[in-house]
A and B are shown apart, each in its own frame.
Chain A
């Protein structure tokens, strides 16, 4: 809820689609703030368990993925949790699932609550990096919608509590891209008319997914040949890509520095709040449906406090504040019921079951070999030179270093001679 901001951007109250996200007035925002002071939770007794014990938990979440209270009229969720429970929250951010994995696997940090996506959850379960939850400590799990429980990535729902879900689509500037909305598909990202105006995902899984859809492969293909083809597809796009980014998209699209970018639906809605020229389309040829869920790493130091935090995040009021702020879709029945009619009927945030069934695919964890192959292809693709620079850069460098070495040797030779006499 960036209400105050959208007031600055006087025009930002246009699109009815975004009603829940931006059409509130300052008065309402104040009301909201007032209500936040009398935040009600289901069981205050439960939350006071660790009061005065000086405990702290480390929460590792995606950037822009919680209501922070940094903007007026929004709820400071972590602050409220600290007030309520006396547990200090060390809150830090990551930008991609792979970054989260690296940080956790490398052992350079210990976390108590993390929020990975579906495929990463199953990978982490497989590698024993996250531990089963005690749902008895998370009574608010009851609010999670039936169809978001026991998903493929965590079949018995032993390890994770869903936080948000959404689809991937294309966000673009309607004033500069003159293609009717119905005709927009992934090939827009390969359209040379918009060279240097296109941004692309800076993580292998999401980027490969787009290429795989266009090539008609499964998003979970492990066939090395198909992965190779997808990498070629991405390489052919590279020369018209302005940059590979993640959350920098907020800034670049919001400021009009780029015209076209693929991104997650929820963040796209947030960006559209700031720049009314933007529109978001979920391509009909198919897309990825993702679920991000809260988990507790095996190495967590404060498991019970972490479960308390997860439970707190599932309090209807809190879940609503978060979802209202970040604009993602919620698997939380209580929060869903609180949303405005318009948001619930938005085909961006809550596409129909038919659409989900026919056009979306969920990531599953790939085999280690496929993961490695994808990572290699990804680094190769990103480090590939433009063809025209490749030819002369290496020879010039070689000649330069040769000359330098020759010079050094000759100098040394002369010097030793001089010293001799």
Chain B
């Protein structure tokens, strides 16, 4: 029975990994063929680094992901604090609306934001591009921050903040000294989550990017719609390697932290 289970797991893993490994193998293929391997080359990697469009959209993607996740972490953390101290009914209303971008299909979120931006663009000289992308990303990031931070309040004594203020702390000092440390793990995981969602988002960006700022997923999409060059395989390989490294580092840090806390 146990062996059968292992075999099953291996099969599922094969299903998940074979396509990715095929992509990686063919990034070293000498010809453009996607089914016959004819020889080893690093040519496609060289070309990838000379491809202006890819490099600039990579930079764009990272800029937007960093900015969006920082802003939404601040916004979302503050929001979570506020929502937590709301009365039952307004709290439920706000939480239901907050859940909207998560429940709604991405395409609806994208289209709705596009309609809004078009409305503004016509009236307020707003140009589609970095700003609209940033707003869109913050909009779908904030709910994840809120959902990560909210549960931390359940574990916290609700009167701590007021007690600190009664003891003479200013509101911001009280917040910094009392509330923040308690919710920090939630804030951090909210930040990481929104960063990865931003990095990887295609659908919402597709509808809100306009003509100047392309993110990497949009560039990848237009690459797959045209004459496909193995550069795209090279790009996949690099992304895969980056992901593996990040996850390994994350795991090592986590297990170290776990050991530490286990010791103390």
Contacts and interface: CB of A to CB of B under 8 A. Distances in A.
Judge A-B direct contact (beta carbons within 8 Å).
Answer: yes
Nearest to A104: B211
Interface residues of B, number: 31
Given A108-B128, A255-B33, A92 B225 contact: no
B211 A90 contact: yes
Given A70-B51, A254-B32, A255-B33, A108 B117 contact: yes
A246 B225 contact: yes
Given A70-B47, A110-B127, A251 B228 contact: yes
Contact of A109 (B30, B35, B210): B210
B45 interface: no
B225 A63 contact: yes
B212 A107 contact: no
B30 A108 contact: no
B258 interface: no
Contacts of B32: 5, 8-9, 254-255, 274
Contacts of A79: 52
Contacts of A255: 32-35
B211 A107 contact: no
Nearest to A4: B43
B226 interface: yes
Contact of B225 (A76, A111, A247, A270): A247
B35 A250 contact: no
Nearest to A5: B32
Interface size, A (range): 20 to 34
A63 B31 CA distance: 22
Interface string B226-247: 1111000000000000000000
Given A8-B30, A79-B52, A108 B222 contact: no
A8 B31 contact: yes
Interface in A222-249: 246-248
Contact of B121 (A91, A107, A246, A301): A107
A93 interface: yes
Contacts of B114: 106, 108
Interface string B113-152: 0100110011000011000000000000000000000000
A9 B36 CA distance: 13
A64 interface: yes
A60 interface: yes
B50 interface: yes
A70 B227 CA distance: 12
B214 interface: yes
Which of A8, A9, A274 is packed against the most chain B CB atoms within 10 Å? A8
Q: Which 7 A-B pairs have the closest CB atoms?
A: A250-B227, A109-B211, A58-B211, A109-B210, A63-B226, A247-B226, A251-B228
6 contacts: A93-B222, A106-B114, A108-B114, A109-B128, A109-B209, A110-B128
Interface of B: 30-35, 47, 50-53, 114, 117-118, 121-122, 127-128, 207-212, 214, 222, 225-229
Given A63-B222, A90-B211, 8 more contacts: A60-B211, A107-B118, A108-B208, A110-B127, A248-B225, A250-B228, A251-B227, A270-B227
Interface of A: 5, 8-9, 56, 58, 60, 63-64, 70-71, 76, 79, 90-93, 95, 106-111, 246-248, 250-251, 254-255, 270, 274, 301
